[in-house]
Amino acid sequence: MSVYPRTNYVHGGPMSEKTPIQFKLMIPADLKIRVEEMASLNRRSLSQEIVAALEEQYPAPNTSEAAGIEARVLLWLARRIRKGSPKPGSLRDRQAAAYEVLAGRSIAQNSNDGDEL
């Protein structure tokens, strides 16, 4: 996970995968209104609604869902790197993000291969 250098960290101290990060987001006004309406219906803040929608659209890869050994190994490597709390944007942070992306692709490929059989 690379983080733009001018991003603000909401909490001080070491950054973990769950640490909130503040950044500027530009969206069309009509989309913002729709998201605000959904947030109100779901009794959430605008930020919580956006996070919920993104979590639903982009679920985190889960080791138990990884059918192939390569995906499990890549996720294991990413977890080991993240355990060391690399600085955002550092080489180690980018490596962990790359491993996570490759694992996600491997999981998607394995699930698509299962559909074709």
DSSP of 44-97: --HHHHHHHHHHHHSPPP-GGG--SHHHHHHHHHHHHHHHT-PPTTSHHHHHHH
Q: What confidence category does residue 36 fall into, taking pLDDT thresholds of 50, 70 and 90?
A: very high
Contact 39, 52 (CB under 8 A): no
- Whether residue 3 lies inside any domain: the answer is no
d(CA 74, CA 67): 12
Domain that holds residue 46: 8-57
Q: Specify whether 78 is located in the same domain as 42.
A: no
Tokens at 18, concatenated: 């769950």
The tens digit of pLDDT for each residue in 53-109 reads 988 888 776 655 546 788 888 889 999 998 888 888 889 889 999 999 988 888 787
Q: Specify whether 78 is located in the same domain as 101.
A: yes
- Whether residue 2 lies inside any domain: the answer is no
Q: Specify whether 25 is located in the same domain as 49.
A: yes
* Count of domains forming the chain: 2
Q: Pick the residue with more confidence: 115 or 24? A: 24
**Does the pTM of the predicted model rise above 0.75?**
no
> Which positions ≥6 away from 38 have C-beta within 8 Å?
49
Q: Specify whether 50 is located in the same domain as 76.
A: no
Q: Specify whether 22 is located in the same domain as 45.
A: yes
